[in-house]
Each structure stands twice: as C-alpha cells, then as structure tokens.
Amino acid sequence: MSSTPTRVLPDAVLFDMDGTLIDSEGLWAEAEAEVVAELGGVWTEEDHRRNVGGSADKVGRYVAGLPGVRAEPREVITRMQEAFGRRLAEGADPRPGAKELVAAVAASPVRSALVTSTERHLIDTAIGAIGLESFDLSVGGDEVDANKPHPEPYLKAARLLGVDPARCVAVEDSVVGVASAMAAGCATVAVPMMVPIEPAEGLTVIDTLEGVDLDWLAEVIQRHTARSAGV
C-alpha cells in the first residue's frame, strides 16, 4: 500500500511589516521627503530606495549626513516618526494576500511573530488593518541591540517563541530584511515591493502573497531543511 507523505509545517512564520504585510513604504517616503525638506535638504527616490527596510537609527544618520541638513540623527528620527504617524492615522492597506496568510497561520498550530524595524509605539497603529492580536508576539526595532540587517531581530523572535530559527519561515520585502532573516538561518521568502531582490541560494522570491498557504509554506521549510542537511 502507498501512503501520502506527511505535511511538515514550519515551527513558526516570522513576518516583516512595512512593505511586506502593509503598503506603508510610500507613506515612509512621503514622511522622509517632508522632514528632509524642512531640515534644508533634498530627498530623492534613490535616497528612499537606499533606506528601504532600514532601522530608524540608520535612516536618521543617513539624513543627518545629507548636504544642507542641519540636524542631529535623533531629531531626524523624531520628526520622521511624527510625520509617518500622522499618515498612519488614515490607515495603511494590507498588501495583496497578506491578511489572508496571517489569518491562516493564526488559525493553525504554527506560531507567528511580527519582526519589524519600526519602533514599538508605531506598531499597533501601523498593523491595524491586520491586527497585532493575529501574532503570538512582536519584536520592534527599538527592542533589539542590533537591527536589520543584523540577525538579532529574527533570532530574538525565535528565542521568545521557543523555536529553532532554522525551522522558521521568514517573510520579507527588502534587501536589508532578507539579509537579516537569512543570517539568522531562517527559510526566507522575499516579496519585493520597491527594490528588486535577486534570487539566491536559500531564498525564495515571489511576486505576491496571494495564494500562499500552509501547504506552500510546508514546501518552503522542507526544501530549506533538505538543503541544510545537504540532501
């Protein structure tokens, strides 16, 4: 008699927020351009692309170093978060398929975490269209010593969930986020939004989260496990 192979699910799914689950990168770009102009500089699309997925500290230092800008990084960060928060008050739309995937994971035995570079005080408002309660826990950008592209955010989320990072699927949209997740040892899925991401060993690149379900995630973690074992 033949038997159907048992589906092996990941231990957890670790989701980035901005650009991955919610369509907020445009809001960040508007906030950045507003603040840089107020501080005497010019913000271009290329400047935004260079900072997609970056931590508040990284962006603050970048802006403070622009020609014409007269402000310390902490002032830049405060102004940008205020400008972003004003835009968030009107809500950020979920990216296609994001709400459905998060709900499917929440209804399953698979644990989940939100792992974002956004600071804690903005997370609840930003993820409002999906709901922070959909996740077992969340890790904010101001709750780690080293932010993305360092692996610490994903390592911390896995540690708090009590799971092995190598048994987790991370879902990201930026080069910085992908580097963080892969360095942590996660099976990594990229859904690029504003910056193209090239395929790489151990990285699955897709156009949209629409149609992504638990069976698909099971295939991702099985490929990752087999690759890690050298099969």
Kindly list the catalytic residues.
16, 18
Q: Report how far residue 57's alpha carbon sits from residue 89's, in angstroms, rounded to the nearest whole number.
A: 23
User: Is the C-alpha dihedral spanning 10, 139, 85, 26 positive or negative?
Assistant: negative
Cβ atoms of 181 and 153 closer than 8 Å = no
Residue of 105, 103, 84 lying closest to 170 (CA atoms): 105
- Give 2's contacts (C-beta < 8 A, 6+ positions apart): none
**Cα 73 from chain centroid (whole Å):** 23
